[in-house]
Structure 1
Amino acid sequence: MSALADTRQPLDLPSDLSVEDFFDWLEQQDRRFELVEGTPLMLPNVRRSHARIVSNIDRMLQRALDPDRFLVTQGDFAIRTGPRSLRYADILVDEASDDLAARSTDRAILIVEVLSDSTAPNDFGPKRLEYQRLPKLQTYLIVDQDKPCVWEWSRRGEGWNDAPAIVSSGEVRVDALQLTLPLEEIYRNILMVSGDR
């Protein structure tokens, strides 16, 4: 495993932090962390392919959505998933708000995580379950960075589909936002994607 994928945690991390204490602590760090049940969890560094996929999706969402109704962010605005837990998604679509001092939301509508080997167990496991408890979330996407594949969970009434829809060609529908994300655009300048597979 390369140093870029190294997710070993420092040994001197604090524990039992409140969300407010975590934000204060985070300002003194030179690495990125999430907060899980009061304990910081270091986020991995990413490859260029990861960054490009995030940028491609961000660009599509920014073009498609009304900025007066929705805020699209890349990994720097926290999602409050519990009383002492904060996550940072690769892409987040939130309802627009006049609260410009807010540092987190629990009202995300769409969350996208771009998959890497080191994050897969978290993205498919604990993070997914935390996200799916958010009251406004309608769609959770996990995007593979090495092959054209998107796992899509959508809220159906009061619950979620048990197994994700797996999209490996064509487009991903995000009904809650009335838009589609074509795989060839998600993977633009990364992978050759055929819409007719």
Structure 2
Amino acid sequence: MTNSAKLGSNNLGVFNMGALPQTNYVSPEDYLRLENDRADDGTRCEYNNGQIYAMAGASRNHNLLSGALFVRLYTHLSNTRCQVFQSDMKVAIETLGDMRFYYPDVQVSCEDETDTYANKSPCLIIEVLSVSTVQKDRSEKLSGYRLIPALQEYVLCSQDSPYVEIYRRRNEWKLEYFTTGQVVRLESVGLDLSVDELYHFLK
């Protein structure tokens, strides 16, 4: 989708991931109305304070890694009140003067969520990094996700090499990183992940 693409009959501006902000303001209500009615094969869009960005497609490695993370979390949490979601469930960030909607690759919420299309209180969010999203994931999304009171951990996983970054609330969101031969502890859900096993598809 090009930077000049339009969404729906209201001609709401949609811009590629990473495009410079535009002046066309879209209200949260208009975004949600159109996005929640999107066809299953339609392009998903994220929202940041009036701007809509079309999401790029995911690579094979991206799908394998996000799928492996989902399966491990789903199995680990299957008999708990926590629920695991993949990339079709939005996260809503709603604070004074800041309104955003993102589609994390994987998220976990242990709260009683009532919105059909978005979680507001995830405790864990995981994004799989790609060349086109790495800057946004490490800056814009990190600053946005930190505004969620329930969030305890934000995890970034490289799709092309065995490398995992973790930002934790208890550590004032300071960077921790893990690589080959190490085990990642997801404290928010009590799960240990071997980096080597997680990235077995790269061998």
Q: TM-score, normalised by structure 1?
A: 0.83
2:121 and 2:150 in contact (8 A); partners too: yes
1:1-197 alignment runs, 5 A limit: 8-12=2-6, 13-14=12-13, 15-26=24-35, 27-28=37-38, 30-82=42-94, 83-97=98-112, 99=114, 101-156=115-170, 159-161=172-174, 164-169=175-180, 170-188=182-200, 190-192=201-203
Equivalent pair of 1:115/1:143 in contact (CA under 8 Å): yes
Amino acid at match of 2:28: V
- Contact 1:67–1:96 at 8 Å: present in 2 too? no
2:113–2:120 CA contact under 8 A, matched in 1: no
Count of residue pairs brought into register by the alignment:
181
Give the conservation status (yes or no) of the 8 Å contact 2:113–2:119.
Answer: no
Structure 2 counterpart of 1:182, which letter? S
Q: Distance in 2 between matches of 1:85 and 1:139?
A: 18
How far has the Cα of 1:186 moved from its partner?
1.7
Partners of 1:74 and 1:24 in 2: how far apart?
21
CA contact (8 A) 1:57 1:181 kept: no
Deviation at 1:17, TM superposition (A): 2.9
- Offset of 1:98 from its aligned partner? 6.3
Q: Percent identity?
A: 26
Residue 18 of structure 1 deviates from its aligned partner by: 3.1
Structure 1: how far apart are the matches of 2:62 and 2:4? Answer: 24
Q: Distance in 1 between matches of 2:72 and 2:145?
A: 22
The CA RMSD measured in Å over matched residues stands at 2.0
CA distance in 1, matches of 2:46, 2:79: 27
Q: CA distance change for structure 1 residues 67 and 96 in 2, over 3 Å: closer, same or farther?
A: farther
The 2-side partners of 1:95 and 1:17 are apart by: 31
Query: CA deviation digits over 1:29-85, x for unaligned, max 9?
Result: 621110111221111101111000000001110111145411101111111123531
Please, which moves more after superposition, 174-183 or 25-34?
A: 25-34
Report the more deviating stretch, 174-183 or 64-73.
Answer: 64-73
Q: Which has the higher contact order (CA 8 A, sep 6+)?
A: 1
The more displaced of 176-185 and 19-28 is: 19-28
Q: Unaligned regions of 5+ residues in structure 2, if any?
A: 7-11, 14-23
